[in-house]
Structure 1
């Protein structure tokens, strides 16, 4: 799916799309959806949490993923959503350029998301 997104929603190398770039919102949402699909047969409580944040909190409460992974994903999801909301309110693009003040911070968080994707055994999130 990551390859298809990269082909259909290309982002310039010196830019970062809050949703579509590797480690962005879509990757976090995919991770959570995968957890719900793969773990809900043995953990039906996951089916009662349709949102990303409540689902991550349920995954943590059930001890299904490492606490560090859940905390990292929650921190990244919150920061990306806040940036996305600020940009929407200002009628700005969801694409950040390297000159944007938040660029380095968000890049660091998305790299952590990509690393946890690998550590959780859910595959690479590279283009």
Structure 2
């Protein structure tokens, strides 16, 4: 999963090219979709157990159900699931361009990808604002309720359904 986001930032050109080749080779391996979905769900649940707030009235923009990490995990799932058939999916390392590629290839609908794109952008902007203001990236009560539900519904539709 980490290789989906990995990119070299410095080094000899030959090393950078070798890293890109290895990254592409690993990411483009065929994977069994149900097993992949189960592994991603399990990893996400472990992260959530460790990092999400225990108070159900607090929405952590990053770690709670329906937060930005759920979007990141879904994008990583899509890349790992379909890169063997669509190697262009491993071109980008950022979620927004990966979502554009997923939509262009018709792997998820353009509307679904646009919804996830907009949710990611809104959550990321709110997280950045929180950091700049020196406060935790939390929303109280019904804050971000529509985004949370959209992200959670897509999670259920894509990952939980694929895991069965």
TM-score using structure 1 length: 0.86
Alignment: residue pair count: 118
Corresponding residue of 2:160: 123
Query: What is the 5 A alignment of 1:20-59?
Result: 20-59=63-102
Structure 2 distance, partners of 1:10, 1:84, is: 15
- Quote the offset at 1:20 in angstroms: 0.3
Structure 2 unaligned blocks of 5 or more: 1-42
Q: Which runs of 5+ in 1 are unaligned?
A: none
- Counterpart residue number, 2:139: 96
Q: TM-score, normalised by structure 2?
A: 0.68
2:145 to 107, 112, 120: 107
**Which has more helix, going by share of residues?**
2
CA deviations 1:70-126 (Å, max 9, x no partner) are: 01111110110010011111111112222xxxx53x121011011112222x118xx
CA RMSD of aligned residues (A): 1.4
Which structure exhibits the higher relative contact order, with contacts defined as CA atoms closer than 8 Å and separated by 6 or more residues? 1
Query: Between Structure 1 and Structure 2, whose CA radius of gyration is higher?
Result: 2
Q: Find the counterpart in structure 2 of residue 6 from structure 1.
A: 48
